[in-house]
Amino acid sequence: MSIHPTLRLSDLAGLDLQCSCGRRHQVPIRHIVTGEGALERLPEVVASFSGKRALLIGDSHTWPLAGEKAQELLTSTGIQVTPYIFSRRDHYLTDEYAIGELLVALPQQTDLIVTVGSGTMNDVTRTVAVRCGLPWIIIGTAPSMDGYASSTSAIIINDEKRSVPLGSPYGIVMDTDLLVTAPDEMLSAGIGDVLGKYVTLADWRLAAREGREHYCETIAGLIEAACGRCLAGYEHVLARDSAAIEDMAGTLVMAGVAISMFGTSRPCAGSEHQLAHVWEVAAIQRGGQSPLHGNFVGLGTVASILLYQAAAENFGFTDLQQALPEAKMISEILTRAGGWASKERLGIDRALFESSFTHAARTNPRYTILTYLEERGCLEIYAKQVTALLYDV
């Protein structure tokens, strides 16, 4: 069996593919429901849980969006629902406190967790559900990151961010009527996480070329096709056009599906994520309200594209660089999306920015352009060049 890059997202649910790359790719997610009014289809997603008990969670922001409606739909399917609304702290992270709060809220007799939320709630749910051996369904409230379909969670423990391999959700519901109401900062973050995939693909191809990583053209093709549709329609996303928001949400879910298919986040996180990770940890350690992941990735995307631009000719990978969008174009898109991904808004000073390249290369084992240049002893020089391009203006 083969898959076409333009196939519908819902067709990927339950996929079991013996791929031409030599590996078998599976998508354990049973239901992916997207589009306007998708929430109304929750009963078909949970049909096999009729007569069982579900914990339905949201927070003070997401519950009013879809909590009550979800409770009504679950109850009408014959599911006994225990609702739980997270207390929204001003400092709200996927950390040991949030995970602990959900564990305490989880009734002893629970067959399913249903979550209304996005990044934090999604990662907290995955962590608790997998550790407790429970299936879970996520009702997405913002197209802000690619973690909905992913099999790993980004968890903060003792102020350090870790990527923990866990498992995939039973079902995903992405209702465009909810997604179009997401705040600007979250839309901008979603755009950043999508644009970053261009760098990820260049890094993955570089790693494969260097014989350092298995590469799958089927998975890369799926991501590339979805990102292309998104890039072409980003203006409509900013105008909150329902079809464009649905497309972007679909791309973010597709990225998570690709992680599940490959088994690691390799298809969706390259040097732009490695840089973002350094800045995110610095922000967490500074304390206060942390900017969103996807906005760090937006700036990381600009930085990585500039790095490719600076080094490609000297090292013979101009083909990879030329396949990337222009850094200027990405910067303009992010500025038009509200400027949430600017270095000033993210609190990244010159010293942190410049040191993040070598810091990421030396602490993150994934092979990317950072590794490539670090192994040749010239990453620091290129980091200086890229820093000057962004800070000496």
By the rule CB under 5 A, 284 interacts with Zn ion: no
**Of these, 218, 271, 356, 364, which contacts Zn ion (CB under 5 A)?**
218
Site for Zn ion in 69-98 (CB under 5 A): none
Strands 31-35 and 24-26: unpaired
Distance between CA atoms of residues 140 and 178, nearest Å? 8
Shortest CB 16 distance to Zn ion, Å: 12
**Residue type at 339?**
G
Q: Does 193 bind Zn ion (CB under 5 A)?
A: yes
Q: Taking CB under 5 A as the criterion, which residues in 10-69 touch Zn ion?
A: 19, 21
Output 139 or 216, the one with its CB closest to Zn ion: 216
Residue 126 CA to residue 105 CA, distance in Å, equals: 15
Q: Which stretch binds Zn ion (CB under 5 A): 38-46, 90-98, 185-193, 349-357?
A: 185-193
The closest of 211, 223, 217 to 20, measured between CA atoms, is 217
| Cβ atoms 35, 178 nearer than 8 A | no
- In the bound state with Zn ion, the residue whose beta carbon lies nearer, of 52 and 214, is 214
Q: Of 86-94, 132-140, 160-168, 215-223, which part binds Zn ion (CB under 5 A)? A: 215-223
Cα–Cα distances in angstroms (integers) from residue 244 to residues 176, 214, 250, in the given order: 10, 33, 10
> Least distance (Å) from Zn ion to the CB of residue 382?
23
Residue 378 within binding range of Zn ion, rule CB under 5 A: no
Q: Between residues 135 and 143, which has the closer beta carbon with respect to Zn ion? A: 143
Closer to Zn ion by CB, 31 or 266: give it: 266
What lies within 8 Å, CB to CB, of 145 at 6+ separation is 118, 119, 122, 189, 190, 193, 252, 292, 293, 294
Q: Which is nearer to Zn ion, 314 or 363 (CB)?
A: 363
Binding status of residue 246 toward Zn ion by CB under 5 A? no
- Contact with Zn ion (CB under 5 A): which of 216, 226, 227, 324? 216
E strand intervals along the chain:
16-18, 24-26, 31-35, 53-59, 80-86, 112-117, 136-140, 152-157, 160-165, 171-175
259 is an interface residue for Zn ion by CB under 5 A:
no
CA distance 81 to 77: 10
- Which residues of this chain interact with Zn ion, rule CB under 5 A? 19, 21, 193, 216, 218
